[in-house]
């Protein structure tokens, strides 16, 4: 390895060369590591796995439709049911495997208290799948009659 001297009188200049020895050392170490690990990556056990074909099981999802009208009357799959009987029905349905999904359809004017009691008794019975059936509505900003409201104090045409 030749380097320039600190003595400027000697007339020698510095040698501008890259020292390749450390680079070659690193490359050789990497080569050895890859030579050692490559056989380990390709090592596998040959197994003759049996082949079978299976048809997918198609199950219709089981649902319970519970409708609640504005007066608090309840309908279990379109059949009237007393609120006191719901706990027993929920417990019986929770015992099934797979559990059915309880879908609640409530009237717009149904009291929230009634819905909260239904959801609480369903959870207490062990039902885990609960959903609400709603109807797509119109834009909340647009009035129901289709006419735009004018701000107070505006002149009417």
* Domain membership flag for residue 144: no
* Domain membership flag for residue 105: yes
SS3 32: helix
Structural domain for 22, as ranges = 14-42
* Domain membership flag for residue 99: yes
* Domain membership flag for residue 58: no
Region of 73 (left: φ > 0; alpha: ψ -120 to 50; beta: rest) is beta
For residues 144 and 111, give the distance between their C-alpha atoms in angstroms, rounded to a whole number: 23
* Domain membership flag for residue 150: no
Q: 72 and 38 in one domain?
A: no
Q: 73 and 37 in one domain?
A: no
Helix orientation angle between 112-125 and 86-94, rounded to the nearest 10 degrees: 40
Q: What CATH code is carried by the domain that includes residue 105?
A: 3.30.420.270
Residues whose CB falls within 8 Å of the CB of residue 109, separated by 6 or more in sequence, listed in order: 70
Region of 71 (left: φ > 0; alpha: ψ -120 to 50; beta: rest) is alpha
Tokens linked to 114: 């009634």
What pLDDT digit, counting tens, does each position of 36-60 carry?
888 877 767 777 777 878 787 777 7
Output the average pLDDT for the chain.
80
* Domain membership flag for residue 90: yes
Per the structure, how many domains does the chain have?
2
* Domain membership flag for residue 2: no
What pLDDT digit, counting tens, does each position of 71-83 carry?
889 999 999 999 8
Q: 79 and 128 in one domain?
A: yes
Partnered with residue 56 across adjacent β-strands are none
pTM to 2 decimal places = 0.50
What is the predicted pLDDT for the residue at 31? Answer: 95
* Domain membership flag for residue 81: yes
């Amino acid at each position: 390895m030749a380097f320039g001297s600190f003595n400027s009188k000697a007339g020698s200049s510095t040698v501008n060369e890259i020292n390749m020895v450390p680079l070659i050392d690193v490359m050789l170490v990497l080569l050895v590591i890859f030579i050692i690990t490559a056989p380990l990556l390709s090592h596998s056990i040959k197994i003759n796995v049996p082949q079978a074909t299976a048809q997918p099981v198609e199950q219709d999802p089981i649902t319970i439709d519970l409708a609640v009208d504005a007066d608090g009357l309840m309908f279990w799959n379109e059949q009237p049911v007393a609120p006191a009987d719901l706990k027993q029905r929920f417990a019986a349905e929770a015992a099934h495997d797979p559990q059915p999904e309880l879908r609640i359809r409530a009237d717009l004017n149904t009291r929230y208290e009634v819905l909260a009691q239904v959801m609480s008794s369903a959870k207490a019975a062990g039902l885990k799948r609960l959903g609400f059936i709603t109807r797509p509505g119109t834009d909340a900003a647009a009035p129901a009659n289709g006419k735009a409201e004018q701000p107070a104090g505006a002149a009417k045409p």
